[in-house]
């Protein structure tokens, strides 16, 4: 499917695979430091990748942000969620009041929190840290009609790209996408199934805590959606408009925009990984700029990460979303860079190397 959007097409075109020279330089530096080779495992992978993303041999992180994209979902009419839909708007106020989990974790890790109303079924007044990018007051029930028009799917991606571009101008150099949207694990499951050709029952989970009966209904709902919209060589935009959510499009756009600006971008849990599926389907090279922060306890997340060949940083049984897992991984990423930048080399420290 041809995307009628200059900004999306230009963004995709600008995202290159990482430069092998920088990866090699990073490897050399890491191997010169006072530790057995590769003994810092994933920390070494993280720092190498950031060297190559930022194309600098002194990679630093100065300013961190999480963007919580909030949106409502018409699919909640099918009774697939444990919480009523009005919780989406209530939680937006809670974020802005700094009372949610994402605020507490961001406070601890020195991360700025912004909330983007990309499709909440509520009119917010102007509020500090609230980005008003509402496309509509929520998606359609995708069992009846496509979740959104393709024009709106494009808009959601563009919104995310624009946020990444502004963030780069403001000096943010580590970014996470989070989300809030009652019903969005159902939408995300459908997105993942259509992107990766998986079965509903493999991917649908218990979301915020539904019972077994509701889970069966949720599987059926996603199954129906796959049957209704699934087709060979379905484009990312088709998937997004058929069963997606505005927040999923927004996060996918954020990922693309960050990659364009050479900013490492951290995926959160299940919804965020659905967004990554869209972003990767649009532009496979974006994968190199993505860090998968954690493996959530939402049923299908593990399999999805495996299919994407993504190794998550944390595994803490989180299933909250909001960006919590992503921001929790920030200190690990920063520690990886501190190791890279601040350790002595064998030579400088006068430490003997391995026996020959």
Interacting residues toward a second copy by CB under 8 A = 33-37, 39-43, 81-84, 86-87, 90-91, 93-94, 97-101, 103-105, 107-109, 208-209, 297, 313-320, 324, 328, 331-332, 334-335, 338-339, 341-344, 348-355
What separation in angstroms does the CA of 101 have from each of 22, 30, 178?
A: 36, 35, 12
Smallest gap, in angstroms, from Cβ of residue 206 to a second copy?
10
Smallest gap, in angstroms, from Cβ of residue 102 to a second copy?
10
Q: Which helix (H) or strand (E) holds 266?
A: strand 265-267
306-313, long-range: CB within 8 Å, 24+ apart, which pairs? 307/196, 307/198, 308/196, 308/273, 308/276, 308/277, 308/280, 310/267, 310/273, 310/276, 311/42, 313/42, 313/46
Q: Mind giving me the DSSP string for 202-233?
A: HH---TTT--HHHHHHHHHHHHHHHHHH--TT
Smallest gap, in angstroms, from Cβ of residue 2 to a second copy?
40
Concerning whether 199 is annotated as a catalytic residue, the answer is no
Which lies closer to a second copy via its Cβ, residue 57 or residue 104?
Answer: 104
Which lies closer to a second copy via its Cβ, residue 120 or residue 252?
Answer: 120
Smallest gap, in angstroms, from Cβ of residue 30 to a second copy?
11
Q: Which residue, 241, 72, 251, is CA-closest to 147?
A: 241
Q: Which residue, 149, 177, 108, is CA-closest to 4?
A: 149
Which lies closer to a second copy via its Cβ, residue 171 or residue 350?
Answer: 350
Question: Which is the catalytic residue, given 44, 322, 334, 347?
Answer: 322
What are the tokens at 17? 């695979």
Q: Which residue, 331, 336, 298, is CA-closest to 315?
A: 298
Which lies closer to a second copy via its Cβ, residue 122 or residue 228?
Answer: 122
Smallest gap, in angstroms, from Cβ of residue 269 to a second copy?
10
Query: Between vectors from CA 67 to CA 218 and to CA 319, what angle results, nearest 5°?
Result: 35
Residue that is written with structure tokens 């990482």 in the block: 18
Q: Which residue, 267, 245, 256, 255, is CA-closest to 324?
A: 267
Which lies closer to a second copy via its Cβ, residue 234 or residue 314?
Answer: 314
Smallest gap, in angstroms, from Cβ of residue 52 to a second copy?
19
Q: Mind giving me the DSSP string for 283-307?
A: -GGGGGGEEE-B--SSTTHHHHHHH
Alpha helices in the chain (DSSP H): 6-14, 20-32, 41-54, 87-96, 101-109, 150-169, 184-196, 200-203, 212-229, 236-243, 246-260, 270-282, 301-308, 324-342, 346-349
Which lies closer to a second copy via its Cβ, residue 238 or residue 298?
Answer: 298
Which lies closer to a second copy via its Cβ, residue 76 or residue 159?
Answer: 76
Residues 6+ apart with CB under 8 A from 289: 15, 53, 255, 258, 259, 262, 263, 264, 265
Query: What are the residue numbers of the active site?
Result: 322
């Amino acid at each position: 499917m041809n995307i009628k959007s200059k900004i999306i097409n230009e963004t995709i075109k600008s995202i290159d695979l990482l430069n092998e020279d920088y990866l090699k330089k990073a490897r050399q530096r890491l191997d010169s430091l006072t530790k057995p080779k590769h003994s810092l495992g994933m920390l070494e992978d993280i720092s190498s990748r950031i060297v190559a993303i930022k194309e600098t041999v002194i990679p630093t992180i100065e300013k961190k942000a999480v963007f919580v994209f909030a949106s409502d979902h018409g699919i909640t009419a099918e009774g697939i969620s444990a919480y009523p839909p009005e919780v989406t708007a209530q939680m937006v106020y809670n974020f802005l009041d700094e009372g949610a989990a994402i605020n507490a974790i961001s406070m601890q890790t020195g991360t700025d929190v912004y909330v983007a109303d990309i499709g909440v079924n509520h009119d917010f007044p102007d509020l500090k840290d609230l980005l008003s990018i509402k496309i509509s007051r929520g998606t359609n029930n995708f069992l009846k009609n496509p979740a959104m028009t393709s024009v709106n799917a494009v808009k959601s991606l563009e919104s995310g790209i624009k946020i990444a571009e502004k963030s780069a101008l403001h000096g943010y150099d580590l970014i996470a996408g989070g989300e809030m949207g009652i019903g969005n694990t159902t939408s995300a499951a459908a997105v993942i199934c259509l992107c990766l050709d998986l079965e509903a029952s493999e991917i649908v989970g218990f979301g915020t805590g539904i019972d077994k009966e509701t889970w069966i209904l949720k599987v059926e709902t996603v199954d129906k959606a796959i049957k209704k919209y699934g087709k060979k060589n379905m484009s990312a935009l088709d998937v997004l408009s058929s069963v997606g959510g505005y927040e999923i499009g927004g996060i996918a756009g954020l990922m693309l925009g960050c990659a364009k600006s050479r900013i490492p971008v951290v995926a959160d849990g299940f919804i965020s990984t659905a967004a990554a599926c869209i972003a990767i389907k649009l532009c496979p090279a974006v994968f190199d700029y993505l860090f998968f922060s954690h493996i959530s306890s939402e049923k299908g997340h593990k399999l999805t990460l495996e299919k994407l060949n993504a190794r998550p940083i944390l595994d803490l049984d989180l299933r909250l979303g909001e960006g919590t897992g992503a921001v929790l991984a920030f200190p690990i990423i920063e520690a990886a860079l501190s190791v890279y930048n601040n350790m002595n080399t064998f030579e400088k420290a006068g430490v003997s190397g391995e026996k020959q």
